[in-house]
A and B are shown apart, each in its own frame.
Chain A
């Protein structure tokens, strides 16, 4: 309970250290890494999904290594501030960063950054995919993706979609749908998901993308149209995927990972990746990942790198075609 700290938590630091000392060493017993506490960089404000994930991963890492994992929050500029800071730290595996595929595929193309995701950052694991649900206001006369596209084509400029901000996966989902459907829709950026959700429920915008709409759909405040990609979601098993609805191939996706600097020694990368994958496979952690609204999955170092590269290529194409990238 106490061994998960954030840097403001100077008051309970002593208590946490005392408690951690009593936790037996497991997993890393024969190895030299880690010798000291690990700093966990969180590129967002406390309280969000990334924070929840980091607290879970941090607590499990502490269990596995016997070392404290200390959260360091550096929110801002969609994560760019934390990542810029991160590339300046020592690549020794004692600073890890909570991240999403945006750090590899979107942020460097939309914001001025001081890192190259291909050479500076390495994703360690796949923690889970956030199912990007396409949700619509009940007044939109469409029940399926096909009907929605037809309606959008017949009424150019009438539909608008809300996102939690410019350059978020939600924004790019809309750009993707526009490109695939050849329909004209207006993007309205909001300041975070709750604001965008409120706008969609009240009808200020008609469409929204993301897992957060699930409870609203279940309560009838919004209607579910489809889920992006080729994976259905157990929370809403009846919702078809975009692939099933007639748009084959890659669709914008959002997944969570833990990142280290690429210059980190390979054995430390592998050890961290294996350890995290080790507890991601346990039923207890799996259940928590599902509670967070994610679809769990396991990838090794090569598999998760391929995911990052695929997304970088596809999002890159999408951003270039939409003309919204860094000029």
Chain B
């Protein structure tokens, strides 16, 4: 199965291609542009690549794709910068980074958080590239083992695990999950074409858009809360004094194993279409919190809570290429754009691309590692500059954040309706803070809910209505057992304390 000689030859060939000066230059440009654009909230990798796609038409195919790949990593990475410093996740996969990344920023460790994210991402990228080169074609077949029932169980597992995300009470987290599921129901039903909760509005036919929800619940709500404190307590909201820009020895010790575990999770979940990147960062975070000796530190700036999801989503970003490169199946919106870019160049993405386009296949893989290296080189010096932003006084900073966010939200679909939605979700987020409800489980449920419904109904269609399909398929069964075990482990302490209270009275 594992043909080392071919792989080795391929990798050497790939580095030959990727190290050509033009390709190096364009990989650098891609990473640079991606980082800068990714920092703007709302402009994630998909939007950035969609904008810059025509620039690659004049380039040779390999160079064009290397540039796009660079933009992709760059934008992915840039998104976590605002997540960490301003609690403004630009996209789904950096939502969890905001929890502890911003926590570290508040403690004055923003620079360290950025450094951990950069180095963790590089580590994950390196492992991811190696992994793809060695096991690429084999892994692709795993993707095909995942049918509708497997995806459904995986998402149920992810959703239950997200209860762990919440710092506070389990019932509150459950309530937020339910609210997220409900919000996710809005739109057109895939199977029947019926409209749900659209209230006759054309804008809601596609469902509630993601960016306004996230910017509202995180960014806007946070600003509202800070302003209220300022008015009530007469204390200006301040971000902890920045101590050192670099991680302390303790922070490094906590981050390293977390990054390794996150990478492992990301490698596998990244392969799966749709929610791969999102699931990997959420799951990596949940795992760290669940098995941490100090789970109470999570949410207040635990370095492991930055290292794990950042490594996971970067590892996932690498392996997301595999289905496209080995099967011709794009696994997310960015990969669909890449596949479109190949078609423009006259390359049909398909199972034979590895043999028919070895330059492209191995060149792209080698450039993944080079791109990740460049990201570290670009971003580590930038850490100091980004952190300077926090020195701006809050009453100047917050209107800036608001304006940039709203421009970002408006820029996604050029819809003023989305701006109103952002305001509404900002208010909801503010109230949720008052009620001590966490937005993270809501967002996960919002994204996973509609997918879960689709996979569930599809499973039943495939099985002609037989629920047994979830038990008959081994992968699905194993995930079901893990889910039940997890549910019990969450519920037990809750019931125990309930009974204790009951006995006291």
Contacts and interface: CB of A to CB of B under 8 A. Distances in A.
Contact of A48 (B49, B190, B340): B340
A204 B54 contact: no
Contacts of B454: 191
Given A84-B202, A202-B145, A218 B352 contact: yes
Interface stretch (B307-315, B322-330, B392-400): B322-330
B51 A52 contact: no
B292 interface: no
Given A47-B337, A216-B350, A201 B414 contact: no
Contact of A214 (B43, B46, B348): B348
A7 B414 CA distance: 8
Interface in A188-215: 188-192, 194-195, 197-199, 201-202, 204-205, 214-215
Interface string B357-393: 0000000000000000000000000000000000000
A166 B329 contact: no
A67 interface: no
A195 B148 CA distance: 10
B57 A46 contact: no
Contacts of B46: 46
B50 A221 contact: no
Contacts of A288: 344
Classify the interface of chain A: helix, strand, loop or mixed. Answer: mixed
A181 interface: no
B336 interface: yes
B331 A194 contact: yes
Interface string B293-326: 0000000000000000000000000000001000
A8 to B, nearest CB: 5
Contacts of A6: 50-51
B346 interface: yes
B487 interface: no
Contact of B147 (A74, A191, A194, A199): A199
B22 interface: no
A157 B147 CA distance: 20
B351 A216 contact: yes
A140 interface: no
Interface stretch (B153-161, B276-284, B457-465, B493-501): B457-465
B74 interface: no
Nearest to B462: A204
Contacts of A111: 193
A47 B340 contact: yes
Nearest to B192: A166
B273 A188 contact: no
B191 interface: yes
A77 B190 CA distance: 10
Given A204-B148, A215-B328, A8 B351 contact: no
B350 A218 contact: yes
Contacts of B329: 194, 197-198, 201
Contact of A47 (B190, B193, B339, B461): B339
Given A80-B205, A198-B323, A219-B352, 15 more contacts: A47-B53, A47-B337, A51-B340, A72-B414, A76-B205, A112-B195, A160-B462, A166-B191, A189-B191, A194-B273, A194-B330, A194-B331, A198-B143, A214-B348, A218-B352
30 contacts: A8-B43, A8-B47, A8-B411, A45-B336, A46-B340, A47-B50, A47-B53, A47-B336, A47-B337, A48-B336, A55-B53, A72-B414, A75-B206, A80-B205, A81-B202, A84-B202, A110-B193, A111-B193, A165-B190, A166-B190, A189-B190, A191-B274, A201-B327, A204-B147, A205-B462, A214-B350, A215-B349, A219-B352, A288-B344, A293-B343
